[in-house]
Amino acid sequence: MAMATLRMSRDARAAEPIRVTRGTMGIAAAGFGLWGVAWVMLWLVQTQSKLEWALLTIGALLIVVAVLTHVAHLRARFGLGALVVLTLACALPVALFFPFAIRLDANLRTYAYAMWGATWLTASLGVFLVLARKEARLVQRDRSPRTEIHASFSQLTLVAVGTLIYGISFLGLIADQDSYLMGWLSLIGPSMIAVAIISHIEHLSLRVGRPAVVLAIVGVSIWAGKNITRATTDLMSDPDWSAFLVNGLQGISMLLGAMACLLVVAHKRAWAASAVAAQSEAQVTMMYDVLDDVRNQD
């Protein structure tokens, strides 16, 4: 009952201003777009030139920049500790991709799996810290919309455990790249994250618009489901299938993510225009009310 009384109503959430800026989403769209193009190139060309890895490195940097431009709002909701850890998780792929961009001939497979594992384990720690923040807010009966964490405890738990499982799967693949157990973990972890995002569709639709949310859900579902073959078949041993399932599907999901970010920009622009129009209409109405009061006094 306490959680229900501390949660903002649907009407209050719908009326809340859209905090994320068009600049932030534009930078994020560019980052995901570069990732998508680079992964698709790695799938189609399969020669792995330095260009693809340079694009991945730049894309990762842009995503970090997007997070940093939104840091004030995120800190108020998530807390400094969680924000630092989550930002670090976003920054680790830069360190992952950069060595490939400058030393393409080196065998960095173990390093890549270790860095992906570290990235997702760090993200898991960050989400667990957000969970702790949400619980502390509940204990303190904090009703401020500025610090409201809209995701539910169950949604945050799914993301935290899902990222933990996904991180473990990468570390396990260091020892055995063909492990079915690690294949199942690499499927279960992202699937839990996808379920959490899908279950949060109502709030996300209120904030960024349903078209962007639907596109993002399709993208995250493709990303989550791409490892089903690693868990159930031997297709990963075929170079062509492996390139499509690892790089191709990942690239498609990232391109969908970039398009979703652009739809958020369009939604923000439309929201701003409607907000200005509503404010102007309110001002005109107030002016006529004042004139009516003056006439009545006369």
pLDDT value for 297:
58
Sign of CA dihedral 65, 191, 55, 37: negative
Rounded distance, CA 250 to CA 223, Å?
6
Please provide residue 186's backbone torsions phi and psi, each rounded to the nearest 5 degrees: -70, -15
* Count of beta carbons in the 10 Å neighbourhood of residue 224: 24
State which amino acid sits at residue 22: R
DSSP 200-228: THHHHHHHH-HHHHHHHHHHHHHHHHTTH
- How far apart CA 173 and CA 16 sit, in angstroms, is 44
CB 18 within 8 A of CB 271: yes
Distance CA 52, CA 233 (A): 28
Instruction: Round the CA-based radius of gyration of the chain to a whole number and report it.
Output: 22
Q: Rounded to an integer, what distance in angstroms lies between the CA atom of residue 220 and that of residue 247?
A: 14
Residue 140: its H or E element: none
> To the nearest 10°, the Cα dihedral for 216, 218, 222, 223?
10
Torsion sign over Cα 288, 292, 294, 298 = positive
pLDDT by 10s per residue, the chain, length 298: 344 444 555 555 555 566 778 888 899 999 999 999 999 999 998 677 889 999 999 999 999 999 999 888 788 888 899 999 999 999 999 999 999 888 766 678 899 999 999 999 999 999 999 999 999 888 888 777 777 888 899 999 999 999 999 999 999 988 887 788 888 999 999 999 999 988 888 777 877 788 888 998 899 889 888 888 877 777 777 878 888 888 899 999 999 999 999 998 888 887 777 755 555 545 545 554 554 555 555 5
Cβ neighbours of residue 111 under 8 Å, at least 6 residues apart?
96, 99
* CA–CA distance, 7 with 202 (Å, rounded to integer): 14
Q: How far apart are CA 252 and CA 189, in angstroms?
A: 19
Q: What's the CA gap between 156 and 191, in Å, rounded?
A: 14
From CA 93, how far away is CA 250, in angstroms rounded? Answer: 15
pLDDT value at residue 153:
92
Token pair of 97 as six digits:
């991709």
The C-alpha atoms of residue 56 and residue 97 are separated, in whole angstroms, by 6
Task: Supply the pTM of this predicted model.
Answer: 0.81
